[in-house]
Chain A
Amino acid sequence: MFARIWHSDAFWMFRRSPAAIVAALCAALILCGAIFAPWIAQSNPYDLSSFSLMDGFLPPAWEDGGSSRFWLGTDDQGRDMISSILYGARLSMLIGIVAMIIATVLGVGLGLAAGYYGGRFDAIVMRIADVQLALPAILTALLIDGIARGVLPSSMLENLRVVVLTIAIALSLWVNFARTARASVFVEKNKEYVQAAMIMGQRPFRVMMWHILPNIMGPLLVIMTVDLASAILLEATLSFLGIGLPADSPSLGTLIRIGMGFLLSGEWWILWVPTLFLVILVVSINILGDFLRDAFNPRLH
């Protein structure tokens, strides 16, 4: 298995593409940092006893008045910026990855079935997708948030903010998967191996999952990467606008929103550090997505 990946054309292209290698390293580093935040970070931004108000507004270490304890400075509460970002990235990436997985399962499932059955079912699914595309993600999030508020007691609601946000993001991303899966199924459906399976009388579910799905994974993997970046950005946007997570559970978007308040008062790092971090993360993932798109395109070999 490992040897197969190592010798594949895609990996060979990867080894020769400096941009893809740098992007992969950045993304992997950030992912590891996010996963292992509780062990790496020197303080826990959720734990009031681990930081002190006395350390507030410390600039990065290389600036005048900076402290070597807080390499990228601290915010108004005295929280270490690096620790906040690692915890923030943890939440952002968790929401992004889970939303992307939900969107993949939902979108690919509907797209496969729409492409396979065609006709009326296809028309209905694709019209729903069109409607979904016309709604901005913020509206979807507001809608789901509103429904959740109406249905759930407010004590539960606070705990479910993450779930609501994840579902809202997933709902605004599934259309990409559905459209790509459907288009690929239209191509694969007429290939003879699928017809052979149909002639044998195999169940439609098996034909879709066992025969067609593995053959359309290439473009779907590309979309999964690109949409992971979109999901993280969407989460940041929604949190920045205050629709997403509350200020006491800082995701990258919340950190940027908090930093906005200090933009004009001289403490630039509180805004710029998380913003740059978000940019690096999203650009890395997008470069990887672009690379995968080329690697899976047989015409470019």
Chain B
Amino acid sequence: MLDVQDLTVKFPSRHGEFTAVQDVSLRVAPGEIHGLVGESGAGKSTIGAAVIGLLQPPGYVANGRLVLGDTDLRSLTPDAAHAIRGARISMIFQDPQTSLNPLMTIEDQLIETMQAHEDITTSAARARAIELLEEIGIRNAADRITAYPHQFSGGMRQRVVIALALCTNPELIIADEPTTALDVAVQSKVLDLIRELADNRKIAFILITHDIGVIKQITDQVTVLRGGRVMEAGPTPQVLDSPQHPYTQALLASVPRLDRKLDRFLVPSEVEEAAPPLVAGVDAEKWLLAGDTTNPVDLEVKDITVKFAGQRTSLFRRAESFTALNSVSMQVAEGTVMGLVGESGSGKSTLAKVITGLVQPSNGTMTLDGAPLPPARQRGRQDAARRTIQMIFQDPYSSLNARHRIGAVLGEPLWLYGLEDDAAKRRALCAAMLEMVGMEPDAIDKYPHQFSGGQRQRIAVARALLARPRFLICDEPTSALDVSIQAQILNLLKDLQDRFGLTMLFVSHNLAVVRQMSDRVTVLQRGEVVETSESEAFFTAPAAPYSRELLSLTPTL
């Protein structure tokens, strides 16, 4: 039904023309879900945009055939293309927060879309809208249809976005990362809905995702892309079970497995972006071994409660507070890795911030290495814990100051904690540390924007190590990275843990990643501890019902 032949998309820029997509061909039949998978820069979204005719200018289709049914999409006038968009091809975007107009009710948005494409009375459109919302699983649709987008939860909002895409009875829906912004439980329901719509209404879907688990769960056909070219294509079970192309094999090997723990990820040389660490950086390793880093500490948090001030409802009344953490206790033994898991809003990051001293708990005590660890406001600038506890952040694009050279970023802990007073020695040590985390030492004079996400995360690890930490907190350290890069960073963290025996708190929403990294696991739900157990026991036989649910909903390979 949709037939794409030799599609090539180019983006002219001041540095010459950039080919985003080259000679891509794919066919999608009615009722079929066709997955486009690849890492960032693979051209997945560009293909979707080219099909629906919404390429970001100055991008243009340089070559190829785009045929939907019997309509040649490339030869359409702008008006005809506009009429087809919405009526025959719809789109579901990644973030339901931004793809609905916050100032219009759901009803108005649905009716407006229908009336834009066909001659239908408002009451008939409303009736169809209600029917549609019921069909995609919104209960009491007749009442809820007058609500505004913010009155729905994230998952419900994504259902409304799907209803909006469906309301004109399109033949093809392009779903661009439709579940990336959602928690696993919601993701699984939205994916089920998409499968149902494909089966019952015979709608063709193009599902764009970076998550191979999602591909495995619902697609019929899959096209693996890299750098704008097709690496491999075929029926999903065939491609995933017996991948032919080395890139597909590498990609699959670097996906963390939920069902078993690996010592190291295989990162074939093809996707490796920097030399593997191990040999280089001997000086940095010696320096770390000379300090107290190899003497790890244990951490205990007890009855930590965090309340955030809410919205003030009256001038004369105190604002209602929101409880982010409710009496959370946790013990991390020295030299072990504790995995902290939970859905968004469960308080994982808040707990990490309490330990680092960014958030003031309203109640509870902490001990580090047997000594009391003062909470945020009581922890002085000179407190030893400022150095011994270090953190690696989620987003390597914002965790390094864009205006400072790498040398300045790395030298900061050395200078601040008085670990090395001599500027020349500081510089040498920073260079050695860069080598140890697998970077070229000449990176020291560059700026963060000159590096990729994975390289920046290595720099962030180097910065944390240069404080000679004894307790390392990793807050979703790989969730902003592609899987092959994620595998490298996880390997690096594992190596460091093996060599220096660091105590780590590993925060992640991705259970498969946590399985690879942690010795013990703590599960948080809405600010409370649901379960704490040994990692192997947790993943083979979880005790709490909530843990079982989480595990069963996570897409697996």
A77 sits at the interface (CB 8 A): no
B71 sits at the interface (CB 8 A): no
Give the 7 A-B CB pairs with smallest separation, nearest first. A192-B399, A214-B403, A201-B386, A192-B393, A201-B381, A191-B398, A193-B401
B383 sits at the interface (CB 8 A): yes
Which A residues are CB-close (under 8 A) to B387? 200
> Are B386 and A192 within 8 A (Cβ)?
no
B358 in complex: contacting residue of A199, A211, A215, CB < 8 Å: A199
B467 sits at the interface (CB 8 A): yes
Which A residues are CB-close (under 8 A) to B382? 201
Q: Could you name 25 residue pairs across A and B whose Cβ atoms are closer than 8 Å?
A: A12-B14, A191-B399, A192-B393, A192-B395, A192-B398, A193-B399, A193-B400, A193-B401, A195-B393, A196-B463, A197-B412, A198-B358, A199-B356, A199-B358, A199-B386, A199-B389, A200-B386, A200-B467, A201-B379, A201-B386, A202-B381, A211-B401, A214-B401, A215-B401, A215-B402
A203 sits at the interface (CB 8 A): yes
Instruction: Tell me the minimal C-beta distance from A213 to chain B in angstroms.
Output: 9
CB-based nearest B residue for A191? B398
Q: How far is the CA of A211 from the CA of B357 in the complex (A)?
A: 19
Residue among A191, A199, A201 having the largest count of chain B Cβ atoms under 10 Å:
A199
B555 sits at the interface (CB 8 A): no
Q: How far is the CA of A201 from the CA of B386 in the complex (A)?
A: 6
Q: How far is the CA of A200 from the CA of B410 in the complex (A)?
A: 12
B391 in complex: contacting residue of A199, A202, A203, A215, CB < 8 Å: A199
B interface footprint on A182-224 (CB within 8 Å = 1, 0 otherwise): 0000000001110111111111000000010011000000000
Instruction: Tell me the minimal C-beta distance from A294 to chain B in angstroms.
Output: 16
Task: Give the size of the chain B interface in residues (CB under 8 angstroms).
Answer: 29
Q: Is the interface of B mostly helix, strand, loop or mixed?
A: loop
Which A residues are CB-close (under 8 A) to B379? 201
Q: A201-B386, A215-B403 are in contact. Are A196 and B393 (CB under 8 A)?
A: yes
> Are B402 and A203 within 8 A (Cβ)?
no
B543 sits at the interface (CB 8 A): no
**Contacts A196-B393, A199-B386 known; 8 new A-B pairs at CB < 8 A:** A191-B398, A191-B399, A192-B393, A192-B394, A192-B398, A196-B391, A201-B382, A202-B416
A interface footprint on B366-408 (CB within 8 Å = 1, 0 otherwise): 0000000000000111110011011101110011111110000
> Are B401 and A200 within 8 A (Cβ)?
no
B413 in complex: contacting residue of A191, A192, A195, A200, CB < 8 Å: A200
> Are A196 and B399 within 8 A (Cβ)?
yes
Q: Is the interface of A mostly helix, strand, loop or mixed?
A: helix
Which A residues are CB-close (under 8 A) to B358? 195, 198-199
Which B residues are CB-close (under 8 A) to A203? 381
> Are B394 and A200 within 8 A (Cβ)?
no
> Are A199 and B357 within 8 A (Cβ)?
yes
CB-based nearest B residue for A12? B14
Which B residues are CB-close (under 8 A) to A201? 379-383, 386, 416
Q: How far is the CA of A211 from the CA of B393 in the complex (A)?
A: 17
Which A residues are CB-close (under 8 A) to B391? 196, 199
Which A residues are CB-close (under 8 A) to B398? 191-193
Which A residues are CB-close (under 8 A) to B390? 199
Q: How far is the CA of A234 from the CA of B389 in the complex (A)?
A: 53
Q: How far is the CA of A236 from the CA of B85 in the complex (A)?
A: 56
Which A residues are CB-close (under 8 A) to B383? 201
Residue among A196, A200, A202, A203 having the largest count of chain B Cβ atoms under 10 Å:
A196
CB-based nearest B residue for A190? B398
Instruction: Tell me the minimal C-beta distance from A169 to chain B in angstroms.
Output: 30
Which B residues are CB-close (under 8 A) to A195? 358, 393
Which B residues are CB-close (under 8 A) to A199? 356-358, 386, 389-391
B interface footprint on A205-249 (CB within 8 Å = 1, 0 otherwise): 000000100110000000000000000000000000000000000
CB-based nearest A residue for B396? A192
A interface footprint on B332-362 (CB within 8 Å = 1, 0 otherwise): 0000000000000000000000001110000
CB-based nearest A residue for B389? A199
Q: How far is the CA of A215 from the CA of B448 in the complex (A)?
A: 13
Q: How far is the CA of A193 from the CA of B396 in the complex (A)?
A: 9
CB-based nearest A residue for B385? A201
Q: How far is the CA of A192 from the CA of B476 in the complex (A)?
A: 12
Q: How far is the CA of A203 from the CA of B381 in the complex (A)?
A: 8
A interface footprint on B246-260 (CB within 8 Å = 1, 0 otherwise): 000000000000000
CB-based nearest B residue for A194? B401
CB-based nearest A residue for B356? A199
CB-based nearest A residue for B475? A192
Which A residues are CB-close (under 8 A) to B413? 200
Q: How far is the CA of A191 from the CA of B395 in the complex (A)?
A: 9
CB-based nearest B residue for A203? B381
CB contacts under 8 Å to A, within B106-141, are none
Q: How far is the CA of A200 from the CA of B388 in the complex (A)?
A: 10
CB-based nearest B residue for A216? B403
Q: How far is the CA of A196 from the CA of B383 in the complex (A)?
A: 16
Q: How far is the CA of A195 from the CA of B379 in the complex (A)?
A: 15
Q: How far is the CA of A200 from the CA of B419 in the complex (A)?
A: 13
CB-based nearest B residue for A212? B401
Q: How far is the CA of A201 from the CA of B381 in the complex (A)?
A: 5
A200 in complex: contacting residue of B14, B380, B416, CB < 8 Å: B416
Residue among B383, B390, B399, B467 having the largest count of chain A Cβ atoms under 10 Å:
B399
CB-based nearest B residue for A214? B403
Q: How far is the CA of A201 from the CA of B398 in the complex (A)?
A: 19
Q: How far is the CA of A175 from the CA of B391 in the complex (A)?
A: 37
Q: How far is the CA of A196 from the CA of B353 in the complex (A)?
A: 11
Instruction: Tell me the minimal C-beta distance from A289 to chain B in angstroms.
Output: 22
Q: How far is the CA of A198 from the CA of B387 in the complex (A)?
A: 12
CB-based nearest A residue for B412? A200
Residue among A192, A195, A202 having the largest count of chain B Cβ atoms under 10 Å:
A192
CB-based nearest A residue for B467? A200
Q: How far is the CA of A199 from the CA of B382 in the complex (A)?
A: 12
CB-based nearest B residue for A4? B447
Q: How far is the CA of A200 from the CA of B385 in the complex (A)?
A: 9
Instruction: Tell me the minimal C-beta distance from B12 to chain A in angstroms.
Output: 14
A interface footprint on B306-317 (CB within 8 Å = 1, 0 otherwise): 000000000000
